[in-house]
Structure 1
Amino acid sequence: MPTAQPTIPGNQDVLLLIKLRMERGVIDNIINRLLQVRGRPGKQVQLSEAEIKQLCLVSRDIFMRQPNLLELEAPIKICGDIHGQYSDLLRLFEYGGLPPRYNYLFLGDYVDRGKQSLETICLLLSYKIKYPNNFFLLRGNHECASINRIYGFYDECKRRYNVRLWKVFTECFNCLPVAALIDEKILCMHGGLSPELHNLNQIKGLPRPIEVPETGLLCDLLWSDPSSDIRGWGENERGVSYTFGADRVTEFLQKHDLDLICRAHQVVEDGYEFFANRQLVTIFSAPNYCGEFDNAGAMMTVDETLVCSFQILKPVENKKPSKFGFGSTTTVKQSTTKAKLSFIIINEDGLKSWGIEETRAACLQD
């Protein structure tokens, strides 16, 4: 299987390769311990403080050696918000396949809200260290001290370890890349577009390490939201950044010769949701979010020909009989300059073709 290869400054750095080899045994041990709780939701894995600090320091070094705008190649699997729902992260890997069998891109928001942010971020950092050119993590708005100080991660670190460890994570999060470009056609970020984004090189030029400011390009990439209620730019109900209309998506894609914007940041009922005539997709990978929503989670796979398929992770609490279970919906990209998307869903009886509304309805039936 082809390997997703970013443009990595200093990728041949001998010292880095030696350092990674030195960590291999330690990393394998950590990963094995983190995976031992599969099938036991809520079971904690108590790594040592020294091990976690090592994960943060080594991954931070890798983040800084890779660009702020990752340049990746398909095939690759893309996941949205996880928010400390560790058992659901393990379910995603169970159905999607463990690295390095498949390449992964996560769109941020690994911590807060859920009960196991520490296990979640430690497994993700471990895979980043072990497979630096196959496993990629973007920054979300919750990978920010001012946010995760309030919404759970700080308290979890303090309760299970200490505040010093939370500060080590903060230094690591400040080095995360903020966007990825897949085969020069699919732009990925956590939040969305910015009125200040005129050229993709602006993303490459954002400094790191950096705290997320209250306004500006970096803030918008992590915080903005699409809105079907407006044209142009609007005020965001979050009190941070902007909302943007479908017209802004179309203009941006045309200007930069892109086909799709892929982002996370919002709970969507089916785990994925299209916007702007399927020119933007929101992916959310935490099913039954916070135990308060009856949403599915989703993971989008982009194959070598840029065919995008969605694997649906249903909430564990959903006990109703399901014909689909862990479903698969496929978006077919035609070989036209402006791709026309059609949809199919695979079930136990074989393959059926539907339009988007029928596909969404089918997903809701179970």
Structure 2
Amino acid sequence: MEDWTKAESAKAEGNKFFQEGKYAKALAAYSMAIELSEDDDGLDSLDGVSKSKNPSVQIYYANRAFCHIKMENFGSALVDATKAIEAKEDFPKGWYRRGTAQMALGRPKEALRDFMQLCKLAPNDKDARDKLKQCQKQVNAEKFAKAIGCEKTKPISETVNVEQMPVDASYTGPVYVSGACTSDFCQQLMEHQRKELVIAKKFAYQIVLDMIEMLKTSSTLVDIEVPDMGEVTVCGDVHGQFYDLLNIFSLNGIPSEQNPYLFNGDFVDRGSFSVEVILTLFAWKLAYPNHLHLARGNHETRNMNKLYGFEGEVTKKYDEDLYQLFCEAFCLLPLCHVINQQVFVVHGGLFSKDDVSLESIRKVNRDCEPPDEGLMTEMLWSDPQPGRGRAPSKRGVGVAFGQDVTENFLKVNNLKMVIRSHEMKEEGYEIEHDGKLVTVFSAPNYCDQMGNKGAFIRLDGKTMTPKYKSFAHVPHPNVRPMQYANPMLGQLMGMA
């Protein structure tokens, strides 16, 4: 009884942290509740299955699964939701959480089975029925896409006719001239978008089409050369936080030949100004192709865009064809960069096997959606872990890798350090693996609730010594994050 009381207290504490957006602390509290609920002997005498004396343990697992979903740890969410179901098979939230995790992992067929079971358990729950319909819609859409894919239809970039797109006579915004993008245009575009105005559809299309043509000449791994007297700035995830992107340029200067940038993936999703972010970055890339570098992140993918808002935002502000154009461009983005033959920059992290060479990375075919496994997927999804060795990823994709993995990769390729992004950090950056690996994250007060700082890193060409700059968030118009996200990632039936 005493452990049950302590477990309930830990759950209540977890709920409080969750409501405050402190998901890591909530996770720890729910873990404590689960630990307090474990059976003393640990095994049921009949079937050898671990049991709990606490009749509420399925709630603790479901709540912890909710935390993992919020933190994008979908693999761990799947495990916890399954444990909630095993603890109490007729517990609706267990099926709800598992279906949501399956969807986030790109497994709509498995999610459909979970939501069907959810609706059997909660036949009068309108939200459950809505989720089932959304899931069925996605499964059917994928079947349709697969069917028409067999017909080898041409990509949108080869069929769209930009010349026939009219520009309204009342339009007073910046005018894009294909093949002649300048710093002045980029600054006009940023100011126009800062006022919550959209650039004319014709010009948005042309920017993305020109970007596609430029990226076709790029490669999976791009080498960047910085002169001894020069510097380069590396930024992490921006995630649709356009006004914080403007603040980066205010603090650190706009891109130029003398002030080059590398943006390390996850430009879009979550924040509701992703269109503004990506058009701005694409425009600067067109203006300074050798001094503004862009790497693909795990959110520059169809599966993430469908869930976390970019698809919905583009189709709301423009149309479906422009979204398809963005998808083409994303598939052509480089996966990683090497600066001055010393610093490896990648969105996610390293690999499930040792001795991966830069040459083997160069040979990776990037022009596709990420497969279930392999070098490309690990570069987009992996995370560092303390200590040594490897472990399954809490995200359900990629791998968690230790200091020895980082050291092996650097030694094999005669490199100095790894810079990666992909994870929010309280100060906007974190130094790990004895200084050989750094995470940089450039979306402050992530999703308007995390309270973290953003950061960027400046590296000088002569010594490649990192200098870190943290910064706070700035105000933005009253449009909430995830405004355009899939309803599947809504309230998720709340906490228990």
Structure 1 length-normalised TM: 0.76
1:146-167 per-position Cα deviation (integer Å, ceiling 9, x unaligned) = 1111101011012111122111
Q: Which amino acid aligns with 2:278?
A: I
1:290-316 per-position Cα deviation (integer Å, ceiling 9, x unaligned) = 011111111100112212111111133
Matching residue within 195, 198, 208 for 1:56: 208
Q: Which runs of 5+ in 1 are unaligned?
A: 1-20, 318-366
**Residue 89 (structure 1) aligns with:** 245
Distance in 1, Cα, partners of 2:259 & 2:308: 32
Q: Report whether the alignment pairs 1:70 with 2:225.
A: no
**Bigger radius of gyration among the two:** 2
Distance in 2, Cα, partners of 1:33 & 1:265: 30
**Residue 358 (structure 1) aligns with:** none
Distance in 1, Cα, partners of 2:394 & 2:185: 41
State the shift of 1:33 in Å: 3.1
Aligned partners of 2:444 and 2:454 also within 8 Å: yes
Q: Report whether the alignment pairs 1:210 with 2:368.
A: yes
**Residue 433 (structure 2) aligns with:** 276
**Residue 133 (structure 1) aligns with:** 290
Q: Which amino acid aligns with 1:256?
A: N
Distance in 2, Cα, partners of 1:239 & 1:30: 42
**Residue 99 (structure 1) aligns with:** 255
State the shift of 1:254 in Å: 1.8
Q: Report whether the alignment pairs 1:292 with 2:444.
A: no
Q: How does 1:334-349 map to 2 (within 5 A)?
A: none
Secondary structure at 1:32 match in 2: helix
State the shift of 1:34 in Å: 2.3
State the shift of 1:289 in Å: 0.5
Secondary structure at 1:78 match in 2: strand
**Residue 199 (structure 1) aligns with:** 357
| Structure whose residues are more often helix by fraction | 2
Identity, in percent, stands at 35
- Give the number of equivalent residue pairs: 293
Moved more, 267-276 or 57-66: 57-66
**Residue 410 (structure 2) aligns with:** 253
Moved more, 157-166 or 269-278: 157-166
Q: 1:26 to 1:241 in 2, by over 3 A?
A: closer
State the shift of 1:37 in Å: 5.3
Structure 2 length-normalised TM: 0.57
**Residue 226 (structure 1) aligns with:** 384
State the shift of 1:22 in Å: 6.3
Aligned partners of 1:45 and 1:119 also within 8 Å: no
Distance in 2, Cα, partners of 1:223 & 1:238: 8
**Residue 350 (structure 1) aligns with:** none
1:19-76 per-position Cα deviation (integer Å, ceiling 9, x unaligned) = xx963556557523322158x6xx4230122212211121122222122111112321
**Residue 322 (structure 1) aligns with:** none
Aligned partners of 1:44 and 1:119 also within 8 Å: no
| Structure whose residues are more often strand by fraction | 1
Aligned partners of 1:44 and 1:116 also within 8 Å: no
1:232-290 per-position Cα deviation (integer Å, ceiling 9, x unaligned) = 21111111111001111112212221110000000000011011011000000011000
Q: Report whether the alignment pairs 1:31 with 2:31.
A: no
Distance in 2, Cα, partners of 1:29 & 1:205: 37
Q: Which runs of 5+ in 2 are unaligned?
A: 1-175, 476-496
State the shift of 1:97 in Å: 0.8
Q: 1:54 to 1:27 in 2, by over 3 A?
A: farther
Secondary structure at 2:178 match in 1: helix
1:338-362 per-position Cα deviation (integer Å, ceiling 9, x unaligned) = xxxxxxxxxxxxxxxxxxxxxxxxx
Q: 1:294 to 1:22 in 2, by over 3 A?
A: closer
Q: Which amino acid aligns with 1:32?
A: Q
Distance in 2, Cα, partners of 1:236 & 1:219: 12
Secondary structure at 1:174 match in 2: helix
Moved more, 303-312 or 288-297: 303-312
Q: How does 1:145-184 map to 2 (within 5 A)?
A: 145-184=302-341
Distance in 1, Cα, partners of 2:376 & 2:402: 19
Moved more, 262-271 or 93-102: 93-102
Aligned residues: CA RMSD:
1.8
